[in-house]
A and B are shown apart, each in its own frame.
Chain A
């Protein structure tokens, strides 16, 4: 194994690192949500202001699409450790937010 220098954090800091990862993931999602909202407003209104984005309440159809995208995002981030072992084609398709063909469903 290559020596990469002093182990500054140590194994006991893994929870702290996980908190940092989750904080970063949250910022990524907040930006992703903002991007979806911005695209929606541009498509439906043409011209928008920052306040339009900040005060926007997603209508039901968009809220549903946001929920699906957010759940997929949360699953990818929070489920990353189990993605290393749950590697069936159905698992991989499900994580990607795609329909799993009936022939691949295990029922479990």
Chain B
């Protein structure tokens, strides 16, 4: 029984460390997503609408505002969410979703 409790403590500790590392990772990738979203949208827009360069400054503001909101949600919301749920399936699930989207955005400039 004592061994099982130790194991559980160890597992909880490991889960907390992994969750912290993943949160840091989502935060770092979050910064890149702002930069890359901007690059990809600008580049794609200009390639399809070469005469529409005037709209870029407006796009710039909108993109940065929207992505910054997401970033804040990931950083602060992430802490709040995972602090109480780390190690739970819901927590891992949210990590999977956020990381998938962030990796998707970071990969996008390779293809667009």
Bound pair: A and B? no
Residues of chain B having any CB pair with chain A under 8 Å: none
Residue numbers of A with Cβ under 8 A of B are: none
